Every structure is written in structure tokens, then in C-alpha cells.
Amino acid sequence: MFLAAAVLSAFVVAIIAPAVCRLTRGACGWVLAILPLVLVTFFAGHIPQVYRGIHLAESIAWAQGLDLELAFNLDGLGLLFALLICGIGTLIFIYGGGYLRGHRHIGRFFVILLLFMGSMLGIVLADNLAALYVFWELTTITSYLLIGFDHENPVARKSAWQSLMVTGSGGLALLAGLVLLGQAADTYSISQLLERGEMIRGSALYTPALVLILIGAFAKSAQFPFHFWLPNAMTAPTPVSAYLHSATMVKAGIYLMARLSPALAGTHLWHVIVIGGGGITMLIGGYLALNKTDLKQVLAYSTVSALGTITLLLGIGTPEAAQAAMVFLMAHAMYKGALFMVAGTIDHETGTRDVELVGGLRKEMPITATAGMLAAISLAGFGPVLSFIGKEMLFEAVLHSEEFRWMLVPAVVLAGALFVAVAGIVGVRPFFGDYHAPHHAHEAPPSLWLGPMLLALAGFILGTIPGTGAPLLLEPAVASINPAAGELHLVLWHGLNIALMLSVVSLLVGVSLYIAWEHLRRGMNRLRIILEWGPARWYELIMASMNGIARTQTRLLQSGYLPRYVLLTLAAAMLLIGFTFFTHARMPLTLSFAGVRFYEISLAMIILLGTIVAMFTRSPLVAIASLAVVGFGVALIFVLYGAPDLAMTQLLIETLTVILLVLIFYHLPGFTIEPKPVRQIRDAMLASLAGVLVTVLVLAIGIVPTDMTLIEYYAQNTYLLGHGRNIVNVILVDFRGIDTMGEITVLAIAGVGIYALLRLRPRVGRSG
């Protein structure tokens, strides 16, 4: 159970994280980074095995009655994501320990971060749709806590709530889609349903399942029209932002589309939605990145654009596109994690992230500047870096696409140019020119520059010698997406071809955009009115509408007036139950008083008399006593008809009720209610109709033949399954154990209330 242990280890270590932070103080990030480092070693050890096509599969029984299991599978795609999650996670833990050094809530930060890492591992390793969804929602909750880590900041709380609403709503759509997918494939095992692509695509459930699953994936990975939540999440601490954007959270939607593409891809609907959504997101993200001056905002929108690019490639679905998607994903994880950490370091040392307020930092922060510039080269995708290879493969995939080629070629060239301009904004502008910053900057400690330097160098190493290690990891991942893909050949120089020409064009246009950036941004501000009516505006309007509806509903239904509650409850019950009964039941309504004994009639008359007195008396205590007569009369009926256990319960409840009501009314001031005649008539009619309906239902139950199936089941299995001879006890404790637990909980709460009332004493004012 190595995979299960790997996933659950993060949850276990999260329990002791606060104690570790208290004991190790400033070194807690380094100590806690041992776990993801060990996991990296574990997963890396399986690279040769997975490359040969051997998967590591595990299964733990979960809910056998529902045919559910906690299954894990380590294949090429899962291995790639697991290494990114744990590898970049190791650097993020070290960086987070230095960034939040001395923070009073650093222990809580690492608890949530560990839970988040474990949840992401669960997503990429799960081999069951139900397990995948559980871990999916755990990332939603933990990311909400991470984004709102600075809970005293109202902006952070609002951003966290927005991310929860958007991704949580997408998660609900995903749940419905996964259920439909499981029904269409006749299995909830991911490994099995991926082999039933033809069956799924031919099912009537394919279209709704596809749309719902893509809504969930688009919401998670910030695809249009859900892209607005991700840049707003920049209120999170920078270690969180770096982790979210590079290897986790937003990559979950990408992973889901890649994982399920063998079963869902290949149809025109898939191409239209995924290519269209990815292409629009790619261009919108790049455009909005040029509108910002906050380093994290610029990087966030460039992440949106990069995610759109990967989505577009998955939508194309060819072997070339699958290879380009995985190369681009790996390159993006490295340079984006590095750039976010560089942005956080600049903010940490200068007190600002505004690119217009800092400049010339290369002399004061040489190591950070080197890491930032190297990562910016990878972002631009031009030079001996892995992202350059990914960009070349992107152009090749688009050029060979059969769907929307004439639109996609200029779109990806423009997106490449926007990446170049963004690279200049975040990797050149802060470090060159005249020195200026709000506070005097100096080089950060090793914990803040180690991560970005290693990630930036990794992009160069994999780009300079791409054929050595990268294919071992990327080729099995590509095979998981598109089994038709052959060997992955990564080379830095493809010769003079159209893809290289497109790269040069995007570079030249991008440099021009960077040079004219300030003028462009001022011109873009004129379009701010249009942008204000984008999806973010519609989200605000929807939330405001929901709040308005909730307030109106609360005023109508939660009036605080008990008689109105009783009136609405009875009216709704009568309408629904009565309509269903009288439109579907076929009951011969015959009454017979034969065999009725005199003491039964006497008992009924006593109950009726108690009811009448309770209705017309003006004394609360007399009304309580009259209702007690009714309750005790019902208990006597249970005795007469052979139900002593019910009679005992009824007697106890009635006795406690009388005592409680007497205690309550004893402490209440005297009051008299004089209802209006119209209300009296209304209440009398409603009560009479309710009584008639209940009477008819009781008569119907007595006439309908009893189904003995359940009774026979209890009789046959009481001793065999429950190991008891008392059928009633076994039913209550075993067959209906949850129901009994609920009843016990209610009784416990009632006992607490009784104890509180018995201790209630009238307050006596002090004199003098």
C-alpha cells in the first residue's frame, strides 16, 4: 500500500506540523520539506518501471455495498504530476518557512499546505471516480483556507470566498458529470472506463457528462468564463500563489481533462468546447496581464493564458498536441514557480510588488535577479530552454491541426508575443535601469532564492540536453493521454521551418509590445468599461441577487412568529401529501363500528374533551393539563392494543413535556392573546382539514395489505446477522443503528435543555 501511504502521509504529518514549528522555530520549513523530498525520491524510483509500461496499482475496500474502493494507480500521467507536486512542493516548503519566518500562524499555514499537497496527490493518483472527487473537493476547501490565510484582511476573505464559490460550484457540476460518466461506462474505475471510450461516446449520457465535467475542469483551471477568480487569489501569501500556479490547484483541471481524454475526446463537441475555451482563455489572459503593474497579478494572468494554451492543445487531441501539452506543462511549472517566488522575494525585501515602484535591483539582489531573468527567458520561450522546445511543438501541433487551423495559428503567435512582453515586465524591468524601491533592498536569505534558482536552472538544463531525462518522464505521460503517440523526441534545433519562423515573429512582436508597454497600458485603460462587464461583474451581480433573494425569503419565512411557522408547515404538508394521496390512492372509504368496546369509546371521548378544553381555555396551565390528558389517553390506547414499549415512551415524554412547559410558563410574565375572528376561523379550518387528512391516511394504512417482505427478512436474519434473539433490539441497534443514534442524540440534547431549565432561577435584584 505504498501509494496510499504516500497520499496519507501528508495528512499524518499535518497533525504534528504545529509542534514541529514550535520546536524547530525558523527551520520548520526545512524540516517539513523532508516529507515531499522523500516522496520525490519514492516516485522518481518508479520512473524506469513506468517507462516500461508497468503501472503500480493498489486498492483498499471502501464501501463494498456500493462497489466503491479507494483505488490508486501510478501511470505516466500520474507520475509526472506527482513529481511536480512533491518536487516543487519541497522548494515551496523551504521558501514558505523563510517567507513567513516569525509569523504567529506559521504552524497553521503548514498544516493547511500539507493537507493541500496530500489532496492534490490523491487527485492525480486516484483510480476511482468517487475517490477522485473526494480529493478534488479537499483541494477546494484547503485552497480556500490558504487564499484566506490572512483572515483579518477583508480582501483576502472576499477572494477566498470567491474561489470557493467558483471552484465549489464547478465541483458540483463535476460530481454530476462523474456520476453520468460512471453510468455510461458501467464502472467507476478510471482504468476501466478509459478502455471503454467507444461505449461512452456512443451513450446518450455522453453529452451531459462531457459538459458537466468540463465545467468542473474549467472552473478549477480558471478557463473562460471562470478565469477571474485566479488573479484575485493573489491575496494569498506568495508561497501559496507559487504552489497554486505551478504544480497544484489550477493544474487539477488540466489533469482531469488529460486523464479522461481517452474516453471523452475525439468528438466535434469536445473540439469545439475545449479548443474554443482554451483559445479564448489564452488570449484574454495575455491581454489582461499587460494591464497590470502588480508582479503577482501580471504572473497570475499569464498563468491563465498558459493554462488556456495547454487546454487548447488537449482540445486538438493529436499525438503532436499531447506531446506539446506535456512539455509545455512541465516547462510552465518550473518557470512559473520560480517567477512567483522571485516576485515574493522582491516584495519581501522592498515592501512592494508594483513593477513601477522598483528597478535596478540586480546589484542589491544579484542571486534573485539571476533566477528571475533565467525564469523570464523560459517564460518568453526563446533560447536553450525547455519552454522553447514546448513552443516549437505548440506551433507544430497547431499547424497540423484539422480543426480551426486558420484561427489557431495567429492566436498562438499572438499569445507567444504576449508571453515575451510579460517576461520583460517581470524578469527585466525590476532588475534593470536606475535603482529605486520604497525600502532599501538586500539579497534574501538562501531559503528565498534557492527554490527559484533551482527551478530556473532546471529549465535550462532540460532545454540544453533535452533528450537525456525528460523523455523518460514525459513519454509515458503522453501515452496516458493519447495511446497512439509514439516516441517523444526532444531536440533544441529543428532546422529552419515554419515553426521557427513563427517563434521569431512572436519574439519580435513581443519585444515591441514590451517597449511600448506603458503607452499600450494607457490605451488599454480606455477599454476598462468593457472589461468591467466581464464574467467577474456577472459573478458579483449573481451573488448580489442571491443575497437579495435570501433576504426576501428570510423576511417571508423566518418571521420569528411561531403560529406562522405552524401555519406554513401544516399548509405545505397538507398540500403535498393530500394532493399525492387523493390523485394516486384508490381506497374504498368504508367505516364500521362493529366490535368497538365501551371503554374504547370512553377513552376517545376523554381525549376529545381534553382537546376541546385546550382549544378554548384562556389559562396556559389549564391548556397544558388538557394536552397532558390527550397524551396520557394516547398512551392508554397503546396499552390496550398491545404496545407497552410505545406506551412507556409516550408516558415518559408526556410527563417530561408537562414538567418543562410548567417550568417555562412559570417564569414567563402573564399575557393574554386575543386573536382576530378571521384568524380563528382560518386556524380552525386548517386544523380540521389536517385532522381529516391524518384520519384518512390512518384508515388507508389499515386497509392496504401489509407487505411481509421486510418482516420476514428481520425474522430470518436477526440471529444470523445481528447475533441476537430479541428482534426489536436487533432492529434498533443493528439494522437501524444510525436512526437509533439520531434518536439518542435528540434525547441527549433534550436532557441538556431540561437540566438548564431545572437550574433556572429568577433573578433577584440587589439593593443598595
20 or 619: which carries more pLDDT confidence? 20
Q: pLDDT band at residue 695, thresholds of 50, 70 and 90?
A: confident
Partners of residue 71 on adjacent β-strands = 59
Give the CA angle between residues 629, 631, 635 to the nearest 5°. 110
Based on the fold, state whether residues 6 and 90 are members of the same structural domain.
Answer: yes
Contact 425, 510 (CB under 8 A): no
Give mean pLDDT, residues 351-374.
89
Distance, in Å, from the CA atom of 425 to the CA atom of 238, rounded to the nearest integer, reads 18
Give mean pLDDT, residues 49-62.
86
Q: Residue 334 has what pLDDT? A: 93
Distance, in Å, from the CA atom of 210 to the CA atom of 69, rounded to the nearest integer, reads 24
| Max Cα distance, the chain (Å) | 108
Q: Is 445 helix (H, G, I), strand (E, B) or coil?
A: coil
Based on the fold, state whether residues 64 and 157 are members of the same structural domain.
Answer: yes
Q: Residue 411 has what pLDDT? A: 93
Q: Residue 766 has what pLDDT? A: 45
Based on the fold, state whether residues 716 and 702 are members of the same structural domain.
Answer: no
Based on the fold, state whether residues 54 and 11 are members of the same structural domain.
Answer: yes
Distance, in Å, from the CA atom of 246 to the CA atom of 96, rounded to the nearest integer, reads 15
φ, ψ at 495 (rounded to 5°):
90, 180
What is the reported pTM? 0.81
Per residue in 673-688, pLDDT (tens digit) is: 666 788 878 888 888 8
Based on the fold, state whether residues 37 and 174 are members of the same structural domain.
Answer: yes
Instruction: Look at residue 578 and tell me if it is in a domain.
Output: yes
DSSP 45-67: TTHHHHHTT--EEEEEEEEGGGT
**In the listed set 691, 706, 721, which residue is the last one of a domain according to the structure?**
706
pLDDT score of 700 more than 70? yes
Based on the fold, state whether residues 712 and 626 are members of the same structural domain.
Answer: no
Phi/psi class of residue 383: alpha, beta or left (left: φ > 0; alpha: ψ in -120 to 50)? left
Distance, in Å, from the CA atom of 175 to the CA atom of 765, rounded to the nearest integer, reads 59
pLDDT score of 744 more than 90? no
Instruction: Look at residue 764 and tell me if it is in a domain.
Output: yes
Distance, in Å, from the CA atom of 546 to the CA atom of 83, rounded to the nearest integer, reads 41
Partners of residue 59 on adjacent β-strands = 71
Alpha helices in 265-402 (DSSP H): 268-270, 276-289, 295-316, 319-350, 366-380, 386-399
Q: Which of 236, 231, 230, 200 is nearest to 218 (CA)?
A: 230
Distance, in Å, from the CA atom of 513 to the CA atom of 428, rounded to the nearest integer, reads 14
Q: pLDDT band at residue 767, thresholds of 50, 70 and 90?
A: very low
Based on the fold, state whether residues 111 and 138 are members of the same structural domain.
Answer: yes
759 or 458: which carries more pLDDT confidence? 458
Q: pLDDT band at residue 727, thresholds of 50, 70 and 90?
A: confident
Tally: H helices and E strands in the chain: 35, 2
Instruction: Look at residue 279 and tell me if it is in a domain.
Output: no
Distance, in Å, from the CA atom of 116 to the CA atom of 110, rounded to the nearest integer, reads 9
Q: Which of 15, 36, 162, 20 is nearest to 451 (CA)?
A: 36
759 DSSP 8-state letter: T
**In the listed set 172, 199, 226, which residue is the last one of a domain according to the structure?**
199
Beta pairing class for 56-63 and 68-74: antiparallel
DSSP 624-673: HHHHHHHHHHHHHHHHHTT-HHHHHHHHHHHHHHHHHHHHHHHHSPP---
pLDDT score of 586 more than 80? no
Q: pLDDT band at residue 591, thresholds of 50, 70 and 90?
A: low
767 DSSP 8-state letter: P
The grid coordinates of residue 112 equal 493547511
pLDDT score of 277 more than 90? yes
Q: Which of 598, 427, 566, 584 is nearest to 510 (CA)?
A: 427
**In the listed set 679, 706, 733, which residue is the last one of a domain according to the structure?**
706
Count of structural domains, the chain: 3
Show Cβ contacts of residue 182 under 8 Å, excluding neighbours closer than 6 positions: 129, 188, 193
Residue ranges making up the domain that contains 736: 707-768
Instruction: Look at residue 243 and tell me if it is in a domain.
Output: no
Q: Which of 751, 752, 748, 721 is nearest to 736 (CA)?
A: 721
Contact 57, 306 (CB under 8 A): no
Q: What is the mean pLDDT of the chain?
A: 87
Instruction: Look at residue 658 and tell me if it is in a domain.
Output: yes
Based on the fold, state whether residues 679 and 727 are members of the same structural domain.
Answer: no
Q: pLDDT band at residue 768, thresholds of 50, 70 and 90?
A: very low
Based on the fold, state whether residues 600 and 725 are members of the same structural domain.
Answer: no
Instruction: Look at residue 728 and tell me if it is in a domain.
Output: yes
Based on the fold, state whether residues 53 and 122 are members of the same structural domain.
Answer: yes
Based on the fold, state whether residues 634 and 761 are members of the same structural domain.
Answer: no
- Amino acid, res. 349: E
Based on the fold, state whether residues 766 and 682 are members of the same structural domain.
Answer: no
Give the CA angle between residues 556, 557, 558 to the nearest 5°. 105
Q: Residue 172 has what pLDDT? A: 95
Phi/psi class of residue 233: alpha, beta or left (left: φ > 0; alpha: ψ in -120 to 50)? alpha
- Amino acid, res. 742: G
Q: Is 362 helix (H, G, I), strand (E, B) or coil?
A: coil
Per residue in 65-100, pLDDT (tens digit) is: 666 778 899 999 999 999 999 999 999 999 999 999
Q: Which of 470, 466, 477, 469 is nearest to 53 (CA)?
A: 477
φ, ψ at 737 (rounded to 5°):
-65, -40
Instruction: Look at residue 67 and tell me if it is in a domain.
Output: yes
Distance, in Å, from the CA atom of 36 to the CA atom of 118, rounded to the nearest integer, reads 10
pLDDT score of 26 more than 90? no
Count CB atoms within 10 A of the CB of residue 542: 11
Q: Is 596 helix (H, G, I), strand (E, B) or coil?
A: coil
- Amino acid, res. 23: L
Per residue in 169-196, pLDDT (tens digit) is: 999 999 999 999 999 999 888 999 999 9
Share of the chain above pLDDT 70, in %: 95
Q: Residue 517 has what pLDDT? A: 87
Partners of residue 354 on adjacent β-strands = 294
The grid coordinates of residue 506 equal 512572436
